């Protein structure tokens, strides 16, 4: 018993000795924290006084864990945009400096997740276990760190891959009126990257929650979500979150690019992003300019899209392909925001409402669309079969206009009209019905070489399906070679011609046969 009491006494003595040593070594340190006062709260913004040393883009903390970004600095007050619901915030509340800029989680842990505009998970899968965080505002890569865009990014859409090719590292704008299929083209491009190792990032800005949920479900059902990240700043979120979201998405994409991977970034859409920034600027009482947008509306998009590029091997060799989407009104591509973005990007895919209403889907207007990278980012096999596709299509549209007036046409013009009709019919494609490179080459060759001139217009889709099936079943090696980027030699052309002629012959012999 006495031994037990002595042991307990020794333990207590050791504890007190440790406490005495810790107290003796302790030195009090002062912690300086600058605190301001909220003097006004508006719709998503707050005016704060007393923070004299605050930095631009610094995070300000309010009661309840609410965060804001200082973007309007004045000698007597600062304007803070709020990154959350602010109904509990009122005048007189304390505002604390944090000394840091807004950052978001980055890394592999985000793949397959749905997060909000600042990287917080909203998919009920628990917290994001990211090992690294990076500021949402990053400088664009310098010119000397960039490499030419030379590797194609296959969308799986005939009209785009053949006539308006996209390269990895390019900034290709998608624009058109409301409900013309802009998001569908972007999502199909993401779906077509399955198995290619390309990381997809979809950033929804100001969209309806139901529409975003449908996009996420499409990516998941198509097997692409495991290599994608969805960043959502919905229409009912504060405008500051909608403004920050695309910068956060670009930061997440840069993480993979700087590690040598290829990334596709969908920004859906920058029209709503510009409107959110206009709302914030007006609430902060900044001077309005054209269409009430602030003077730096061009800069907010240029500094965002300039971060998309193809890095050279010394800097990792990765690429970030940006596909920003904007919405036009009444087909006015010369409006303020569309012209700004057209001047920033490397080309545009224009979707025509007229073609959409005629059932020409996807409604890509080849004449008004352009890729400034062009054939440099296109497989050589395409050049062999679709080099004159844009010119032939433009000529067909011109001939069609004259034909409407009942003009008497010579045989060559009538022949060009018939072939043009088949080219237009061949360019039709159902949503999510993506074609491999080999399938596209075969169908394009059959159409441009006149092998389908004798096929009725309403049977073009049947012949196309037959050609694709023959390529998959009878010519799998050729299909794999073309998918791998090999050139289209004479032997390959002969094989394609034989398959096409067999498909046409079977259609002529059995015109009433039902085909899948």
Active centre residues (catalytic): 372
Peptide bond into 269 cis (omega under 30): yes
Write 193-196 long-range contacts (CB < 8 A, 24+): 193/224, 193/227, 193/264, 194/222, 194/223, 194/224, 194/227, 196/262
Taking the C-alpha atoms of residue 252 and residue 250, their distance in angstroms, rounded to an integer, is 5
Contacts of 176 (CB under 8 A, 6+ apart): 182, 327, 328, 350, 351, 352, 353, 363
CB 296 within 8 A of CB 209: no
Taking the C-alpha atoms of residue 119 and residue 104, their distance in angstroms, rounded to an integer, is 5
Nearest to 269 by CA among 249, 293, 294: 249
Angle at 267 between CA 375 and CA 155, to 5 degrees: 35
Question: Maximum Cα–Cα distance for the chain, whole Å?
Answer: 123
Nearest to 427 by CA among 393, 451, 376: 393
Contacts of 442 (CB under 8 A, 6+ apart): 467, 468, 471, 496, 499, 500
């Amino acid at each position: 018993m006495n031994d037990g009491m002595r042991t307990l006494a020794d333990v207590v003595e050791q504890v007190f000795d440790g406490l005495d040593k810790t107290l003796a070594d302790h030195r009090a340190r002062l912690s300086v924290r600058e605190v301001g006062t909220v003097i006004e709260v508006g719709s998503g913004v707050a005016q704060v006084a007393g923070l004299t040393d605050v930095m631009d883009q610094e995070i300000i903390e309010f009661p309840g864990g609410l965060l804001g970004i200082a973007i309007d600095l004045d000698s007597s007050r600062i304007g803070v945009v709020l990154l959350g619901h602010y109904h509990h915030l009122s005048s007189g509340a304390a505002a604390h400096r944090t000394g840091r800029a807004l950052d978001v989680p980055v890394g592999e842990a985000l793949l397959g997740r749905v997060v909000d505009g600042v990287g917080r998970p909203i998919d009920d899968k628990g917290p994001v276990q990211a090992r690294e965080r990076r500021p949402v505002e990053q400088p664009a890569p310098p010119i000397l760190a960039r490499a030419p865009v030379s590797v194609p990014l296959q969308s799986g859409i005939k009209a785009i891959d053949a006539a308006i090719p996209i390269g990895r590292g390019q900034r290709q704008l998608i624009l058109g009126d409301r409900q013309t299929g802009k998001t569908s083209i972007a999502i199909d491009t993401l779906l077509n990257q399955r198995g290619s190792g390309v990381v997809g990032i979809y950033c929804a800005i100001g969209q309806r929650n139901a529409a975003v949920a449908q996009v996420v479900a499409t990516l998941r059902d198509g097997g692409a979500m495991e290599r994608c990240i969805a960043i959502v700043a919905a229409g009912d979120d504060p405008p500051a979150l909608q403004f920050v979201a695309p910068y956060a998405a670009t930061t997440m994409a840069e993480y993979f690019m700087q590690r040598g991977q290829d990334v596709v970034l969908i920004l859906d859409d920058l029209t709503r992003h510009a409107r959110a920034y206009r709302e914030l600027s007006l609430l902060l009482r900044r001077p309005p300019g054209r269409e009430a947008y602030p003077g730096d509306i061009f800069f907010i998009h240029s500094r965002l899209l300039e971060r998309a590029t193809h890095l050279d091997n010394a800097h990792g060799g990765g690429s970030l392909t940006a596909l920003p989407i904007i919405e036009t009104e009444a087909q006015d591509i010369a409006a303020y925001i569309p012209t700004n973005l057209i001047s920033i990007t490397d080309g545009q895919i224009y979707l025509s409402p007229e073609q959409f209403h005629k059932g020409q889907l996807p409604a890509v207007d080849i004449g008004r669309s352009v890729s400034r990278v062009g054939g440099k980012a296109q497989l050589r096999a395409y050049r062999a079969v679709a080099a004159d596709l844009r010119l032939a299509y433009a000529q067909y549209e011109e001939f069609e206009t004259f034909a409407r007036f009942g003009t008497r046409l010579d045989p060559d013009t009538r022949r060009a009209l018939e072939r043009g009709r088949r080219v237009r019919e061949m360019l039709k494609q159902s949503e999510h019905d993506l074609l491999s490179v080999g399938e596209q080459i075969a169908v394009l060759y059959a159409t441009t070489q006149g092998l389908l001139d004798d096929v009725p217009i309403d049977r073009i889709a049947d012949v196309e399906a037959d050609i694709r099936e023959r390529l998959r079943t009878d010519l799998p090696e050729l299909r794999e070679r073309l998918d791998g980027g090999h050139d289209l030699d004479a032997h390959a052309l002969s094989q394609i011609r034989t398959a096409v002629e067999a498909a046409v012959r079977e259609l002529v012999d059995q015109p009433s046969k039902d085909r899948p």
